[in-house]
A and B are shown apart, each in its own frame.
Chain A
Amino acid sequence: MSIVELIRLAKANNDFGVLSAGIPYMKTLNIEVHEADGILTVELRADRIHTGNPWLPALHGGVIGGLLETAAIVQLAHDQDTDNLPKPINVTVDYLRSGRIATTWARAQVTKQGRRVANVQASCWQEDPDKPIASLFGHFLLG
């Protein structure tokens, strides 16, 4: 099934968990999508392959960036009217705290959605949503 068909299916059944079938990176890194009241939460399941610094140990900055970007993309796929995946134009990731090798959650909010470009903010946390380990803002070209 193509990504366009998957997004249509996700919207029809309000089940955005199916998107990982069209986004191989999500499966490979063990990232899942959960939906509640129109808000998607993305879950990164703890795995040693996410380790950046093995001596702390801590999550790799690239994994954190990838998780935040995934949260932004699936939320936009959910919000937008078109049925293709949005593409990142630019992203800025601020690293706020050291991430442990533990389940990490991320959520994105579309700040402004234009016809072609959307501005999105996202943050991720481990135990307490009020203590984010990193945040992202970026522009995405709508699908």
Chain B
Amino acid sequence: MPCRGSYDPPSPPRPRPRCGHHPGSGMTDHALMQQILAFRSQPENQSPHGNFLGLEIIDIDRGKGVVRIPYRAELAGNATTGVLHGGVITTVLDAACGISVICALEQRATIATLDLRIDYLKPATPGQPVTAAGHCYKVTRNICFVRALAYHLDPEDPIANCTATFMITSPQTGAARVARVSS
């Protein structure tokens, strides 16, 4: 099993959103997203490190996820300036990417981060929460491609930009798993 980051909840079983908008398929995209949001928002279903940082899921959509962490001085990378450590930005971007991948897949899957590249565009302003919005823009049989942006309030004024790839590590992979991802 590669690296970290599986987001495979053991329970409750997630309904299978076969064809999002098709009548008779059970759940619509919206209902599915609401269910994922409700499930993942419960502290016991979040990663312990996410809980430790106070990470919250703000919004999700097909192939997209927005998360936020509050500012805490004890997470600064420099006590003199109070600017958050890069590790905190990495965590919030990784979380946004991971949840975007989950929301892009048709079925429950175990996923793992393969790589993550981050450009630090400006220091995070001390005292302000950091939001990260991820978008899984391509899903293949084994690999998901994601980008994410970290910002305070305005995505047009970003703190960091990230591109990442995730691997679908569940034993059963294949075309059935591939979802259409909204662009």
Contacts and interface: CB of A to CB of B under 8 A. Distances in A.
Interface of A: 2-4, 21-25, 27-29, 48-56, 58-67, 69-70, 73, 85, 87-99, 133-134
Interface residues of B, number: 44
Contacts of B123: 87
A69 B87 contact: yes
Interface of B: 1-10, 47-50, 52, 73-80, 84-88, 90-95, 112-120, 123
Nearest to A57: B48
A60 B4 contact: yes
Nearest to B81: A3
A27 B5 CA distance: 24
A49 B52 contact: yes
A4 B1 contact: no
Nearest to B97: A61
A79 to B, nearest CB: 18
A60 B47 contact: yes
A91 to B, nearest CB: 5
B92 A91 contact: no
Contact of B75 (A2, A28, A64, A89): A28
A95 B8 contact: no
Contacts of B48: 48-52, 54
A24 B74 contact: yes
A97 B3 contact: yes
A61 B74 contact: no
A89 B78 CA distance: 16
Contacts of B52: 49
B1 A61 contact: no
Given A3-B80, A53-B7, A96-B2, A65 B90 contact: yes
B116 A92 contact: yes
A95 B112 contact: yes
A99 B113 CA distance: 12
Contact of A95 (B4, B73, B88): B4
B90 A62 contact: yes
Contact of A66 (B2, B87, B113, B115): B87
B9 to A, nearest CB: 8
Residue among A4, A24, A51 with max Cβ neighbours from chain B (10 Å)? A24
Nearest to B82: A24
A55 B46 CA distance: 11
A61 B78 contact: no
Name the 7 nearest CB pairs between A and B, nearest first: A66-B87, A62-B91, A95-B3, A25-B85, A65-B90, A60-B49, A51-B48
